[in-house]
A and B are shown apart, each in its own frame.
Chain A
Amino acid sequence: MSKTISIDGKEIPFQQGQTIMEAATAAGVYIPHLCHSPDYEPHGSCKLCSVKVNGRNCTACTFPAMDGQEIVNSSKELAEDRKKITQMLFIEGNHFCPSCEKTGNCQLQGVAYHLNMLDNHYPHFFADREIDSSHADILIDHNRCIFCSLCVRASKETDGKNVFSISGRGINKRLIINSDSGKLEDSDITINDCAAHICPTGAILIKRTGYTVPIGQRVYDQQQIDQVTLAKEQP
């Protein structure tokens, strides 16, 4: 008999070694997430994928599925708390969706729509962050970085380059670039790197492509993030 976990009362089969996220995605159950991508080692830092496993909060992207787990993914409490965690990501950086060229294609924004986030709730930090436009093809706007570390992992694991790294401690956490000057132009990154395209927000952008698709016709303008994600990540 195959082993199963239960998510919101629905029995879901899983294979030994799968995480809750993997089992859920395979079964067509969406769990909100930002720092997770099925292509990379789970990170577990954004905490959006928090679910209740036998009454205890766990991150679905890192926690192994085990036979008989009773998991809550949809509840009023979780929806409310995931919204607050998303709001924390918004107020920590400087996110001005209407003037951001990633609007409509941004996963942070997509998740916020999905969680019905209508305001920022918390006071803004107005963090002093920089823009690195030194590279010919790629721009980094640190104001929009949410420290998902996907670019770090992509550069290391897919591109074999180690262009990015996370530095600093606590609220002073920051994304740093591996070059003499600390600028992107002096790094090894190229426009064809996976790391240049993986950013879920508008922190890493490809220059001169921002408005090729008009606002209103973009990914999350058409579909909710749960459908988009499942279509992309379901094996």
Chain B
Amino acid sequence: MKLTFLIACCVLFLGFPVAGFAQDTPEEAQPADSITTPIPAPPGNVTAWDTENDHGHSVSLSWEPSPDDGTGLGNVIGYIVFRSDSPDGPFVDRGVQPAGASGHTDVGSKEEASQDYMADYVDYYYKVRAITADSLVFAESVMVGPVQSYGQWFNTGRIPVLVFVLCFMAITIFFIQKAKSGANLFVRRLAGIEAVDEAIGRATEMGKPILYVLGLGTAADIATIASYTILGRVAKKIAEYQTGLIVPCYDPITMTVAQETVKTAYMDAGRPDAYNEDMVYFVTQSQFAYVAAVNGTMLRERPATNIYMGKFYAESLILAETGALAGSIQIAGTDEIAQIPFFVVACDYTLIGEELYAASAYLGREPLLLGSLKAQDYAKAAVIILAILGVIAMNVGLDGFKDLFYISN
């Protein structure tokens, strides 16, 4: 009895490491005497190729699922992909796919220092193992390779974007040329922008300043760049009317650019002497500390008009509601979808989405800017037509229509 127990213990202690080793090395023979689950058929037709449209360091694989995956024996629960840089191994685990899967992308690191580094232009060999609930029972495919990874110089998956950008550039340049030649371009009405003059006039009559908030965006955000243009136009009118201007900034780079913009506007208005650098000042880069500072300014200075243009987040409603409580006329514009309803509710006028980008052209009435605005309108019309065509195509079974616009990452 004691001898039997001793032998059983020896088998257990020696058996575990062997089983563990067998899990990590595909070359390891399966211990036939321990098999209780039937061995499934291996995945077939394994192919490996360099992943397309990437920066390299990646290989894609595809295979035909094992006949025992879902059908047949039905005991395949997934697949493990193994890779080696030599046909003789050793092979290392590069990822697991669930049952039913027929592909895997092996993505390595591009950092040489990383353990996961995968060199480009190096031969690699792959095997795919169909696994069962019993870790000792599996079936491996035939080894495939060699295959090399490398980066591409053109992302063919982004051709629709390229076509769109080129078409849009052509339309924009066409309308700019048309505007330059003196053609009278009709521009749609923007109530929010038409109210700017009225708001500046009100501030002048009341002898109170105008508060201009550029939002929480950085100088690299397009919404902030659009806001600079509006700030320039507004500051020019303010300089002409000799009204006060307050521009508290969230970002120091934004502040520097805004100072230049306002200074230029005052010079254009012929009133460089009225410009004071402290009109545009830095507050803080902490979101709610910034809100507290701007709210404090609203309640102390009681500006006649608050203009919010740029990128806004959770602070939008806190700012706009405080401004409404302070009795200011409020004009807002943002491209942040989630914040638009807040501005619509709390402000007198709101520029919705792309109207923020159209505002600068509308305010300036310069032919070059109006040309680009017309291009924007025509592009929108084209998008609407394509959307209608898409609906029709999908309803009549022309599924290929949507593939024309497929963009890969």
Partners in one complex: no
Chain B positions near chain A (C-beta within 8 angstroms)? none
Chain A positions near chain B (C-beta within 8 angstroms)? none
